[in-house]
Amino acid sequence: MASRVTDQAVYDAALEVIAEQGYERATTRAIADAAGINEATLFRRFVSKENLLRQAVRGNFAGFSLDLDAPGDDVAADLLTIVGYYSSLYERRGGVVLTLMREAKFSPEVAAVLAEPESLLEKVDAVILHHQRRGALVVEPPRHTFFALIGPVMMRALARRVDRRATQAPADPEAVVRRFLDGHRSLER
């Protein structure tokens, strides 16, 4: 009675197609084909394209959380946790998350799906604020620090998928943090 093709297999196919073509251009037809099921079956089982994406994202990124509740005295360690997390997030499943982030600005559907794990960012803000108060980081809007920190990782991940001439290895979180802290230090008078 269960489906021959498992839900997870459909999620895999969907994320793969979406990573390659983007959510809007990924037709339900193409996803169904990639999963080896009929398009009608896809809708019978997953209701809508948006719902399929939501379930696929939940299933594949939910258990994957950031362990940062107790920021410590070691900035470098905490930043490394953050960078490491985002780095592996961007590397997962062919970089779907980056693809979705790009589309989120113009597609309310995608934005809605992505809004769920958004709360992570608030954890990150808290950690950055903590270290700013300790004097270990320059005081500026935490999102600013976050973007400056994550920038190289994201750029590298994006570049890798866009520009054949860019380095093809993912960024090394330790090097990123070190570079960030060194550059950062020079900003304090």
Cα distances (angstroms) measured from residue 179 to each of 2, 151, 183, 184: 52, 12, 6, 8
Q: What binding mask, one character per residue, do residues 134-153 give for a second copy by CB under 8 A, x or -?
A: ------xxxxx--xx-xxx-
Stretch that binds a second copy, among 60-68, 70-78, 128-136, 158-166 (CB under 8 A): 158-166
Contact partner, 105, from a second copy, DNA, none, Cβ < 5-8 Å per class = a second copy
Contact 50, 58 (CB under 8 A): no
Contact partner, 92, from a second copy, DNA, none, Cβ < 5-8 Å per class = none
SS3 content of the chain, % helix, strand, coil (to 5): 70, 0, 30
Asked whether position 119 contacts a second copy by CB under 8 A, the answer is: no
Cα distances (angstroms) measured from residue 42 to each of 50, 75, 96: 12, 47, 20
Within 15-74, the residues that bind a second copy by CB under 8 A are 21-22, 24-25
Nearest to 114 by CA among 126, 98, 125: 98
Asked whether position 132 contacts DNA by CB under 7 A, the answer is: no
CB neighbours of 20 closer than 8 A, spacing ≥ 6? 26, 94
What residues make contact with DNA under the rule CB under 7 A? 1, 3-5, 25-29, 36-41, 43-45, 47-50
What residues make contact with a second copy under the rule CB under 8 A? 21-22, 24-25, 102, 104-107, 125, 140-144, 147-148, 150-152, 154-156, 159, 161-163, 165-167, 175, 178-180, 182-187
